[in-house]
Every structure is written in C-alpha cells, then in structure tokens.
Structure 1
Amino acid sequence: MSEIFKAGPDDVEISEREECFSGFYRIERLQLRHRQFAGGMGPLISRELFVRHDAVCVLPYDPQRDEVVLVEQFRVGALEAGVNPWLLELVAGLIDKDEEPEEVARREAVEEAGITLGALWPIAQYLPSPGGSNELVYLFVGRCDSSQAVGIHGLAEEGEDIRVHVLPFEDALQAVRDGRINNAASMLALQWLALNRAEVRGLWV
C-alpha cells in the first residue's frame, strides 16, 4: 500500500466559513479547495460541517467475572433511521468542559451506571463520521466491579433515562454478531476486547 497523503499548511484553502445553525450543536458551511492526488488544487467545493464536542466512550469490564457493563437508552438518531431507538451502548459523554478524556470516562461511569472505574486502557481515537462531522471519539476499556452495576441512572436535568445491563462477555459479543448491538463504539470496543482479552485479564486479574 502506498503512503497515505499527509496534508501540509498549503494543501487546503478555506475561502469562506458560514455559521448556519448554533444550538447544543453547530452547523457550518465551508467553501474550500484541496490538493488533488494528480497534483494541483481542485475546484472550489461547498461542504456542510456538523460541529460537535469530542466524546469519550468506555466499556466497563470486570476481569474477575469476565462481564461487561452496558447501558440502554433512547436515541433519536436511531428512531429516524428506522431501527429500534433503545440501544445497548457503552458508557459515554461529551468533553464539554476543561476535562481530560479519562476524567470524562470516570464521571460518566458514575452518572450513567453507578460504578467507579479502576484502571483505564486506551483503545483508540477515531472519527465516527469524518465526511460531515469534526467529532473525535476517545475509546477506552475500564476496569470495574460489575456486581455494583444495577438500576436506572442519568441526569434528570438532561432528560436522561439510562438502564444498566451486566452481560457475560461472550453474550455481549454474540449481541454484536446478531445485530442487537449496532452502534460503532460498542462494536469496536467489544471486538477489540475479543482480540485482547487474554492480555487484559492477565494484567487485571
């Protein structure tokens, strides 16, 4: 495979940036040109950009019991996609304050699942939808005691209604296989743990 193009300061020219909407999220319209593989700058193109805070997603994992903690909540995007809008997901939250990703992971674990995380194992940083959004996701596995995970959680002032599920790891992986878990962060984290579980348990048990 040839080397991936690495952009320099002169490889993208943004001629105009217009704010189309500003609320909890923001939408901007950019007029830009970028360098093409054949050489030279391409034509002026218009692109809408969904501006989001970066996010943190963490898979709480109990290495002693070989169990994972997932949360279930309503998602309007899934509703509009025509699928069941109650999703099994990772604990997650936006970095909307002056916080490090690890701090967000620990805070959200308490708010969404009522658990305290121990060691955090970074999995990846990835762009879930780079064709139209600038969101960067920080993905972790977090050590936990799954026996403490129970009940319904979330912040009432944010309209959150979050139910906790504790699953044997193999059951969670099967839920990925059969499509019951159908969101990217959860699929990535569970598949990563499937590949690295022996190493994780070797260090955490």
Structure 2
Amino acid sequence: MTNHHDPRVRIIERRTLSDGFIHLEEITLEQDMSGGGTATLTREVHDHGSAATILLFDPRRESVVLVRQLRVPVLLQGDPAYMIEAPAGLLDDDTPEVAICREVLEETGYHVDKATHLFDAYMSPGALTERTSFFVGLVDVTEKAGDGGGLAHEGEDIEVLEIPFDEAVAMIATGEICDAKTIMLLQWAQLNRGKLTA
C-alpha cells in the first residue's frame, strides 16, 4: 500500500482493532527520515468521522448559546463530567453546513438560517482522523423552533445555556469552559466582535 499524498511516507499495513462506536486501526508505516535512512513506525488511529461545530450568537443580547452534557473521557480524567461546549456533531454523510444546522436544532432547539463557515481544524492529529468545520450563526434566543436537549434514543441529555458573551470568555480563564472547540470559537468571536454585532 502506498500513500499518494507524501512520497516520504508509505503505509505498509492497516489492521482493525475495534469497529464499535469508534473505528480503531493499527497502522504500520515507513517514513523517510530527514537525516537519511528509513524508520518503521506503528500507530493506533481513532476514526469516528469528521464533525462540525458552531458558535450561536445573539447580537441583540450579546450572548451565546452553549450546551452542557456528559463527557465520559473527561469523567475518567477526574474532571467535572458535564462540560460546557458549543453545539457540535458528526457529519453523518451530510455537508458540514447541513450537519451543523441539524445538530443545532437537535441540541438547542434553535433554527439557524445561515451558518457561516470560519475554518477547519484537526482537533488531535496525533491520534484522531477527525477534522472539524467551525461555523458561526446568529440567533434570537427568544425564538426557539424546537425543544432541544438532544436525542433521547442516542442517550443524550443536553442542557441549553444562554451565557453573556463576556462572561463566557471569562469562563475560559476560570476553567469552567475547557473544551478546545468552544475556546477556539469564543476567541474567534473576541477577535471579530464587530462582524457579529454589525
């Protein structure tokens, strides 16, 4: 097997270790080293698909809509298991814009007319294939299209929060918001505040 993206790297073998909620593979590859010679490496790679996330901003109230939900890996680290985050979800064969609008409605009950794409980022490229598309969308928090709270059949129990923007930014420093995608979106909004309130 070869990798057509970079001639310095050749995939030798791919072996599935788990194919449940996530797909976990063991990858054996050869890498041409910058100092000369070749190294054989083995890496475990976790793939559960690409994702999208969005910052919901109410320009009239200067607040953001975030969600709080259970995150088992965080629980295992000994940190508070219910994390405050921007709405997000897997693409499930949709485009990122379609997927994030679906997730927003499911998780928060808000309908987003237009999700504006900001950038894409790999969230943990040392072990995960996941590429996340980041969006911003304007909402009026007084106008909900649904109940939100997530999908019961997926075991979701999501709390919807409206937080003043400046307070949400301050929650990064206190550690109350420690989710990477949410921090990235709030910092983008801090740098581009004029675009949100214009």
| 2:161 pairs with one of 161, 165, 178 | 165
Q: Does 2:54 correspond to 1:58?
A: yes
Structure 2: 5+ residue stretches without partners: none
Alignment partner, residue 4 of structure 1:
none
Alignment of 1:177-188 (within 5 A): 177-188=173-184
Gaps of 5+ in 1: 1-6
Find the residue that maps to 1:103 and give its secondary structure: helix
CA–CA separation in structure 2 for the residues paired with 1:21 and 1:94: 19
Write out per-residue CA displacement over residues 145-175 of structure 1, whole angstroms, 9 at most, x where no aligned residue: 1223596611011000001000110011111
Q: 2:9 aligns with which of 2, 12, 20?
A: 12
2:105 alignment counterpart: 110
Task: With the length of structure 1 as denominator, give the TM-score of the two structures.
Answer: 0.89
* 120-129 vs 77-86, which moves further: 120-129
What's 1:142 paired with? 137
Number of residue pairs matched by the alignment: 194
Give the structure-2-normalised TM-score.
0.92
Q: What residue in structure 2 maps to residue 32 of structure 1?
A: 29
Matching residue's letter, 1:19: T
Aligned partner of residue 38 in structure 2, secondary structure? coil
Quote the Cα distance in structure 1 between the aligned partners of 2:132 and 2:148.
25
Query: Identical aligned pairs, as a percentage?
Result: 34
- 1:110 & 1:186 partners in 2: Cα distance? 18
Alpha-carbon RMSD across the aligned residues, in angstroms, is 1.7
Provide the rounded CA distance (Å) in 2 between the counterparts of 1:191 and 1:81. 25
Q: Report the Cα offset of residue 72 of structure 1.
A: 0.6
